Amino acid sequence: MPLKYLPVNFRCHFEKSVKQETYLPFVLRSVLGYQLRKMCCIAKQNQCCSCMFRHQCVYCVFFETIIDKDNTVLPGRDTVSHPFAFTRINSDTDDNFCVSRFDVTLTLFGNAVSYLPYIYAALVRAGESGLFSCRISFHIDSVAVGNENILLNESQIRTDISPFVFDENADRNIPNKVRIKLISPLRTQVNGKYIKDMSAIDLLNAIYRRYKTMMTLYGENYHNEEKSPHWDVSFDQTDFHWRNYSRYSARQKQAMKLCGLVGTCRITGNITHDIMTLLEFGKIANIGKNTNFGFGMMEYKESE
Protein backbone atom coordinates (compact mmCIF):
# COMPACT_ATOMS: atom_id res chain seq x y z
CA MET A 1 0.00 0.00 0.00
CA PRO A 2 2.59 2.58 -1.10
CA LEU A 3 2.42 6.36 -0.97
CA LYS A 4 4.34 8.35 -3.57
CA TYR A 5 6.03 11.47 -2.25
CA LEU A 6 8.63 13.95 -3.43
CA PRO A 7 10.59 16.15 -1.00
CA VAL A 8 11.93 19.12 -2.97
CA ASN A 9 14.44 21.49 -1.39
CA PHE A 10 14.56 25.10 -2.59
CA ARG A 11 17.72 27.00 -1.63
CA CYS A 12 17.17 30.73 -1.91
CA HIS A 13 18.82 34.05 -1.12
CA PHE A 14 17.29 37.48 -0.59
CA GLU A 15 18.36 40.49 -2.60
CA LYS A 16 19.41 42.00 0.71
CA SER A 17 19.09 41.02 4.34
CA VAL A 18 15.49 41.43 5.53
CA LYS A 19 13.72 41.48 8.88
CA GLN A 20 11.89 38.19 9.39
CA GLU A 21 8.52 39.47 10.54
CA THR A 22 6.89 36.08 11.07
CA TYR A 23 7.51 32.36 10.72
CA LEU A 24 8.85 31.96 7.18
CA PRO A 25 6.57 29.07 6.05
CA PHE A 26 3.53 31.27 6.82
CA VAL A 27 4.71 33.80 4.25
CA LEU A 28 5.84 31.21 1.71
CA ARG A 29 2.51 29.40 1.89
CA SER A 30 0.66 32.68 1.35
CA VAL A 31 2.65 33.78 -1.70
CA LEU A 32 2.65 30.27 -3.17
CA GLY A 33 -1.14 30.15 -3.01
CA TYR A 34 -1.48 33.67 -4.39
CA GLN A 35 0.81 33.00 -7.36
CA LEU A 36 -0.73 29.60 -8.14
CA ARG A 37 -4.20 31.11 -8.24
CA LYS A 38 -3.00 34.00 -10.38
CA MET A 39 -1.33 31.56 -12.79
CA CYS A 40 -3.99 28.85 -12.98
CA CYS A 41 -7.48 30.22 -12.29
CA ILE A 42 -9.43 30.59 -15.56
CA ALA A 43 -12.89 31.13 -14.01
CA LYS A 44 -12.26 34.03 -11.65
CA GLN A 45 -15.94 34.84 -11.23
CA ASN A 46 -16.61 31.44 -9.63
CA GLN A 47 -16.21 30.12 -6.11
CA CYS A 48 -13.79 27.19 -6.09
CA CYS A 49 -16.35 24.84 -4.52
CA SER A 50 -18.74 25.26 -7.47
CA CYS A 51 -16.18 25.73 -10.26
CA MET A 52 -16.31 23.17 -13.06
CA PHE A 53 -12.48 23.12 -13.14
CA ARG A 54 -12.02 22.43 -9.42
CA HIS A 55 -10.60 18.91 -9.88
CA GLN A 56 -8.07 19.99 -12.56
CA CYS A 57 -7.00 23.46 -11.35
CA VAL A 58 -3.58 23.27 -9.70
CA TYR A 59 -4.43 26.02 -7.20
CA CYS A 60 -7.62 24.23 -6.20
CA VAL A 61 -5.86 20.86 -5.88
CA PHE A 62 -3.23 22.33 -3.54
CA PHE A 63 -5.12 24.95 -1.53
CA GLU A 64 -8.81 24.00 -1.63
CA THR A 65 -8.52 20.21 -2.12
CA ILE A 66 -12.20 19.69 -2.83
CA ILE A 67 -13.77 16.27 -3.25
CA ASP A 68 -17.36 15.24 -3.90
CA LYS A 69 -19.33 14.45 -0.75
CA ASP A 70 -20.46 11.09 -2.12
CA ASN A 71 -16.86 9.85 -2.33
CA THR A 72 -15.80 6.41 -1.10
CA VAL A 73 -12.65 7.66 0.66
CA LEU A 74 -14.07 10.04 3.27
CA PRO A 75 -17.87 9.91 2.85
CA GLY A 76 -19.62 13.18 3.67
CA ARG A 77 -16.46 15.31 3.48
CA ASP A 78 -16.05 17.83 0.67
CA THR A 79 -12.63 19.28 1.63
CA VAL A 80 -9.65 17.25 2.80
CA SER A 81 -5.98 17.52 3.75
CA HIS A 82 -3.82 19.22 1.15
CA PRO A 83 -1.31 17.12 -0.85
CA PHE A 84 1.74 19.04 0.36
CA ALA A 85 3.58 20.08 3.51
CA PHE A 86 6.54 22.29 4.39
CA THR A 87 8.71 19.59 5.94
CA ARG A 88 12.01 21.40 6.60
CA ILE A 89 13.07 25.04 6.97
CA ASN A 90 16.48 26.53 7.69
CA SER A 91 17.48 30.17 7.46
CA ASP A 92 20.59 32.29 8.07
CA THR A 93 19.23 34.63 10.73
CA ASP A 94 21.37 37.17 12.59
CA ASP A 95 20.94 38.61 16.10
CA ASN A 96 18.47 41.20 14.80
CA PHE A 97 16.20 38.50 13.29
CA CYS A 98 17.25 39.48 9.80
CA VAL A 99 17.57 36.69 7.23
CA SER A 100 19.72 36.61 4.10
CA ARG A 101 19.34 32.98 2.94
CA PHE A 102 16.88 30.18 3.50
CA ASP A 103 16.31 26.55 2.58
CA VAL A 104 12.79 25.18 2.50
CA THR A 105 11.69 21.65 1.69
CA LEU A 106 8.24 21.24 0.20
CA THR A 107 7.03 17.63 0.08
CA LEU A 108 4.38 16.67 -2.48
CA PHE A 109 2.15 13.61 -2.10
CA GLY A 110 0.37 11.31 -4.52
CA ASN A 111 -0.53 12.75 -7.92
CA ALA A 112 0.54 16.23 -6.75
CA VAL A 113 4.11 15.11 -7.50
CA SER A 114 3.43 15.78 -11.19
CA TYR A 115 2.65 19.45 -10.45
CA LEU A 116 6.20 20.33 -9.36
CA PRO A 117 6.81 22.62 -12.41
CA TYR A 118 3.83 24.76 -11.31
CA ILE A 119 5.23 25.00 -7.79
CA TYR A 120 8.61 26.10 -9.12
CA ALA A 121 7.07 28.69 -11.46
CA ALA A 122 4.92 30.08 -8.63
CA LEU A 123 7.93 30.41 -6.31
CA VAL A 124 9.93 32.17 -9.05
CA ARG A 125 7.11 34.71 -9.37
CA ALA A 126 6.90 35.03 -5.61
CA GLY A 127 10.62 35.75 -5.52
CA GLU A 128 10.20 38.52 -8.07
CA SER A 129 7.36 40.08 -6.04
CA GLY A 130 9.24 39.81 -2.72
CA LEU A 131 8.41 38.78 0.83
CA PHE A 132 7.36 40.53 4.03
CA SER A 133 5.95 44.06 4.24
CA CYS A 134 9.03 45.58 2.57
CA ARG A 135 8.73 43.18 -0.38
CA ILE A 136 12.39 42.16 -0.60
CA SER A 137 12.83 39.87 -3.59
CA PHE A 138 14.56 36.51 -3.43
CA HIS A 139 16.25 34.27 -5.99
CA ILE A 140 16.21 30.47 -6.18
CA ASP A 141 19.78 29.17 -6.31
CA SER A 142 19.04 25.45 -6.48
CA VAL A 143 16.17 22.97 -6.56
CA ALA A 144 17.22 19.60 -5.21
CA VAL A 145 15.70 16.17 -4.73
CA GLY A 146 17.97 14.23 -2.42
CA ASN A 147 21.50 15.26 -3.35
CA GLU A 148 20.65 15.99 -6.97
CA ASN A 149 20.13 19.53 -8.27
CA ILE A 150 17.27 19.45 -10.79
CA LEU A 151 17.45 23.15 -11.69
CA LEU A 152 18.61 23.40 -15.32
CA ASN A 153 18.39 27.18 -15.66
CA GLU A 154 16.31 30.04 -14.29
CA SER A 155 13.26 29.04 -16.34
CA GLN A 156 13.50 25.25 -16.36
CA ILE A 157 13.75 22.29 -14.00
CA ARG A 158 14.00 18.60 -14.73
CA THR A 159 10.64 16.87 -14.84
CA ASP A 160 11.85 13.26 -15.12
CA ILE A 161 12.47 12.80 -11.39
CA SER A 162 10.97 9.62 -9.96
CA PRO A 163 9.16 10.06 -6.64
CA PHE A 164 10.08 8.20 -3.47
CA VAL A 165 7.72 5.52 -2.19
CA PHE A 166 6.67 5.07 1.42
CA ASP A 167 5.77 1.43 2.07
CA GLU A 168 4.16 0.57 5.39
CA ASN A 169 5.28 -3.06 5.00
CA ALA A 170 8.98 -2.28 4.63
CA ASP A 171 11.40 -3.94 7.06
CA ARG A 172 12.32 -1.71 10.00
CA ASN A 173 14.70 -2.04 12.91
CA ILE A 174 12.89 -2.29 16.25
CA PRO A 175 14.88 -0.54 19.03
CA ASN A 176 14.22 -0.62 22.78
CA LYS A 177 13.86 3.17 22.99
CA VAL A 178 13.34 5.98 20.50
CA ARG A 179 14.21 9.65 20.95
CA ILE A 180 11.88 12.05 19.12
CA LYS A 181 12.40 15.72 18.40
CA LEU A 182 9.47 18.02 17.62
CA ILE A 183 11.18 20.61 15.43
CA SER A 184 8.20 22.87 14.77
CA PRO A 185 5.02 23.15 16.85
CA LEU A 186 2.84 20.07 17.11
CA ARG A 187 -0.84 20.96 17.29
CA THR A 188 -2.95 18.02 18.37
CA GLN A 189 -6.31 17.68 20.07
CA VAL A 190 -7.67 15.39 22.75
CA ASN A 191 -11.44 15.52 23.31
CA GLY A 192 -11.69 18.53 21.00
CA LYS A 193 -9.09 20.67 22.79
CA TYR A 194 -5.49 21.44 21.91
CA ILE A 195 -3.22 19.96 24.57
CA LYS A 196 -0.07 21.26 26.26
CA ASP A 197 0.57 18.15 28.35
CA MET A 198 1.11 15.20 26.01
CA SER A 199 1.57 11.48 26.65
CA ALA A 200 3.27 8.97 24.37
CA ILE A 201 -0.14 7.66 23.38
CA ASP A 202 -1.30 11.20 22.48
CA LEU A 203 1.76 11.57 20.26
CA LEU A 204 1.21 8.26 18.48
CA ASN A 205 -2.48 9.05 18.02
CA ALA A 206 -1.55 12.38 16.38
CA ILE A 207 0.80 10.60 13.98
CA TYR A 208 -1.72 7.84 13.31
CA ARG A 209 -4.51 10.27 12.40
CA ARG A 210 -2.26 12.06 9.94
CA TYR A 211 -0.98 8.76 8.57
CA LYS A 212 -4.44 7.30 8.07
CA THR A 213 -5.74 10.46 6.38
CA MET A 214 -2.83 10.84 3.95
CA MET A 215 -2.65 7.15 3.07
CA THR A 216 -6.40 7.05 2.46
CA LEU A 217 -6.35 10.14 0.24
CA TYR A 218 -3.08 9.76 -1.62
CA GLY A 219 -1.83 6.20 -1.12
CA GLU A 220 -2.51 3.33 -3.49
CA ASN A 221 -5.11 0.75 -2.46
CA TYR A 222 -4.96 1.68 1.22
CA HIS A 223 -7.75 0.16 3.33
CA ASN A 224 -8.86 2.55 6.07
CA GLU A 225 -9.60 0.41 9.11
CA GLU A 226 -11.92 1.92 11.70
CA LYS A 227 -10.41 -0.05 14.57
CA SER A 228 -8.12 2.09 16.77
CA PRO A 229 -4.69 0.59 17.48
CA HIS A 230 -3.45 -0.13 21.00
CA TRP A 231 0.07 0.81 22.09
CA ASP A 232 1.90 -0.22 25.25
CA VAL A 233 4.50 2.55 25.44
CA SER A 234 5.26 5.61 27.56
CA PHE A 235 7.70 8.50 27.87
CA ASP A 236 10.67 8.05 30.18
CA GLN A 237 12.06 11.49 29.26
CA THR A 238 10.37 14.69 28.09
CA ASP A 239 11.45 18.26 27.50
CA PHE A 240 8.50 20.04 25.89
CA HIS A 241 7.60 23.69 25.80
CA TRP A 242 4.78 25.69 24.23
CA ARG A 243 5.55 27.94 21.28
CA ASN A 244 3.28 30.71 20.03
CA TYR A 245 3.08 32.15 16.53
CA SER A 246 0.78 34.71 15.00
CA ARG A 247 -0.20 35.06 11.35
CA TYR A 248 -2.55 37.31 9.45
CA SER A 249 -5.24 35.49 7.48
CA ALA A 250 -6.15 37.38 4.31
CA ARG A 251 -9.20 35.15 3.89
CA GLN A 252 -10.56 35.79 7.39
CA LYS A 253 -9.20 39.37 7.52
CA GLN A 254 -7.77 38.97 11.02
CA ALA A 255 -4.70 37.86 12.95
CA MET A 256 -4.71 34.25 14.08
CA LYS A 257 -2.68 32.50 16.77
CA LEU A 258 -1.13 29.15 15.94
CA CYS A 259 0.52 27.44 18.89
CA GLY A 260 1.93 24.02 19.70
CA LEU A 261 4.50 21.87 21.44
CA VAL A 262 8.17 21.71 20.51
CA GLY A 263 11.00 19.86 22.23
CA THR A 264 12.19 16.30 22.76
CA CYS A 265 10.95 13.07 24.30
CA ARG A 266 11.95 9.44 24.55
CA ILE A 267 9.55 6.55 24.07
CA THR A 268 10.09 3.22 25.79
CA GLY A 269 8.03 0.05 26.22
CA ASN A 270 6.69 -2.38 23.63
CA ILE A 271 7.97 -0.64 20.50
CA THR A 272 6.59 -2.45 17.46
CA HIS A 273 6.98 -2.44 13.69
CA ASP A 274 3.76 -0.39 13.42
CA ILE A 275 5.15 2.29 15.75
CA MET A 276 8.38 2.56 13.77
CA THR A 277 6.32 2.81 10.58
CA LEU A 278 4.38 5.73 12.05
CA LEU A 279 7.56 7.50 13.18
CA GLU A 280 9.08 7.12 9.72
CA PHE A 281 5.92 8.51 8.17
CA GLY A 282 5.91 11.45 10.59
CA LYS A 283 9.47 12.33 9.59
CA ILE A 284 8.38 12.38 5.94
CA ALA A 285 5.00 14.10 6.15
CA ASN A 286 4.86 16.09 9.45
CA ILE A 287 2.22 15.35 12.08
CA GLY A 288 -0.78 17.01 13.73
CA LYS A 289 -2.62 20.07 12.45
CA ASN A 290 -1.44 22.80 10.02
CA THR A 291 1.32 20.80 8.38
CA ASN A 292 1.09 22.95 5.25
CA PHE A 293 2.05 25.92 7.45
CA GLY A 294 5.29 24.15 8.38
CA PHE A 295 3.97 22.80 11.70
CA GLY A 296 4.50 19.26 12.98
CA MET A 297 8.04 18.75 11.67
CA MET A 298 9.68 15.88 13.55
CA GLU A 299 12.63 13.52 13.47
CA TYR A 300 13.63 10.48 15.47
CA LYS A 301 16.60 8.26 16.22
CA GLU A 302 17.16 5.05 18.11
CA SER A 303 18.24 5.57 21.72
CA GLU A 304 19.99 3.29 24.17
The pLDDT confidence band at residue 229, using thresholds 50, 70 and 90, is confident
- pLDDT digit string (tens) for 8-61? 999 999 999 999 888 999 999 999 999 999 999 988 777 888 888 888 899 999
Predicted pLDDT at 174: 94
pLDDT reading at 223 higher than 70: no
Q: Report the largest interatomic distance among the alpha carbons of the chain, rounded to a whole angstrom.
A: 59
DSSP H or E segment with residue 193? strand 193-194
pLDDT reading at 262 higher than 90: yes
Mean pLDDT of the chain: 91
Structural domains in the chain, CATH included, are 3-164 (no CATH), 169-303 (3.30.70.1900)
Tell which residue, 244, 26, 11, 253, has the closest CA to residue 132.
26
DSSP H or E segment with residue 116? helix 116-129
- Mean pLDDT check: name the lowest of 116-120, 178-182, 214-218, 252-256: 252-256
- pLDDT digit string (tens) for 63-99? 999 888 877 667 778 889 999 999 999 988 887 889 9
pLDDT reading at 256 higher than 80: no
Tell which residue, 3, 164, 9, has the closest CA to residue 87.
9
Cα separations (Å) of 127 from 10, 15, 90, 106, 140? 12, 10, 17, 16, 8
88-124 core/surface letters (b: 16 or more CB in 10 A; e: else): bbeeebeeeeebeebbbbbbbbbebbebbebbbbbbb
